[in-house]
Amino acid sequence: MCRHLAYLGPPRSLSSLLYEPPASLERQSWKPLHQREGAMNADGWGVGWWDTTVRPEPARYRTEAPMWTDRSFRSVAEIVHAPAITAAVRSATPPSPIVDTGNAPFAAGPWLFSLNGFITGFRGEVGEGLRRSVSHQRAIGIEGTTDSEVLFALVLDQLDAGCSPAEALDHVTSQVLARAEGRLNLLLSDGAQIFATTCGNSLFTLQGTGLAADGVLVASEPLDEDPGWTAVPPGSVVTADRDAVRVDPLSHPGGLP
């Protein structure tokens, strides 16, 4: 399992989300409070952030080191500010290798993507079938062996076909659950909006207050005790920007309990 978050709002330091809150992403790497499987997320982590005054594509950092041991990046995080941030810590699903290419966020063009969950049977026929469903254009962009990258490729195929991001997440979630069980909390952002699903794992939103003053935070679990954090109902797809959060039901609201 994993923990992930996405932020949109006034520029803020990476450290203000990754390290400083009482339930920061770093703390969630060794002591998550809402995680349903596994006690730690020690198999690497990653963060991406946008500065569209420089380029439309986000910058990205990933490592296979546990987040709490990655002391060098913390000093970088204190001075890098961004108006849009996506980050995740990883607990790899065996037998996935512990390598940086297996860590979210995964990137393509302006998009960053993360999976909090897994697909049951991905190492067998289920995974083979899903890989065959990916277009050649998107398949050649897959670097590693994770179910996350295959899901991202399927989402990108839907976007290429003209679906909205929320529709793309909904379609891919339904496509997977028609083949297998799993936990499919997907997270997608282009630096202007955030899209996320709740399918087997927790998800919370915070808007216009605290860490999300004049903005929005979408996260696997709250980063602090702000009463503004709102749990997203299971079987939902979230569309969020700095001004509003919309929650709609998924077409196939399955997923493991």
For range 12-28, the mean pLDDT: 98
Q: How many CA within 13 A on the CB side of residue 220?
A: 35
How would DSSP label each residue in 69-127? G-HHHHHHHHH-EEEEEEEEEE-PPTT----GGGSSPEEETTEEEEEEEEETTTTTHHH
Averaged pLDDT for residues 210-225: 98
pLDDT of residue 256: 66
Label residue 54 exposed, middle or buried (CB < 10 Å: 0-12, 13-18, 19+). Answer: exposed
Say whether pLDDT at 252 is over 90.
no
Residue 162 has pLDDT above 90, yes or no: yes
**Residues 131-157: b if buried by 16+ CB within 10 A, e if exposed:** bebbeeebeeebeebbbbbbbbbbbbb
Cβ–Cβ under 8 Å, residues 91 and 66: no
Pair 97, 123: CB distance under 8 Å: no
Confidence of residue 122 (pLDDT cuts 50, 70, 90): very high
The percentage of residues in the chain with a pLDDT greater than 90, rounded to a whole number, is 89
With H, G, I as helix, E, B as strand and everything else as coil, classify residue 6: strand
State CA 245 to chain mean position distance: 17
- Under 8 Å between Cβ of 87 and 17: yes
Residue pLDDT, tens place only, 127-161 = 999 999 999 999 999 998 999 999 999 999 999 99
183 half-sphere exposure, CB direction, 13 A CA radius: 19
Distance CA 164, CA 161 (A): 9
Structure-model confidence comparison of residues 135 and 93, the more confident one: 135
**3-state DSSP call for residue 149?**
helix
Q: Is the predicted pLDDT of residue 37 greater than 90, yes or no?
A: no
Active-site annotation holder among 1, 2, 77, 168: 2
Instruction: Output 66 or 95, whichever has higher pLDDT.
Output: 66
Round to whole Å and give the CA distance between 120 and 180: 6
What band does 253 get if pLDDT is binned at 50, 70 and 90? Answer: confident
Q: Supply the pLDDT for residue 36.
A: 78
In this prediction, residue 179 carries a pLDDT of: 92
Q: Residue 1 — pLDDT band, cuts 50, 70, 90?
A: low
Burial class of residue 90, CB neighbours in 10 A (0-12, 13-18, 19+): buried
2 is catalytic: yes
pLDDT at 8 over 80: yes
Count the alpha carbons within 13 Å of 141 in the hemisphere toward its beta carbon. 18
Pairing of strands 245-249, 106-108: unpaired
Pairwise CA distance, residues 106 & 121, whole Å: 22
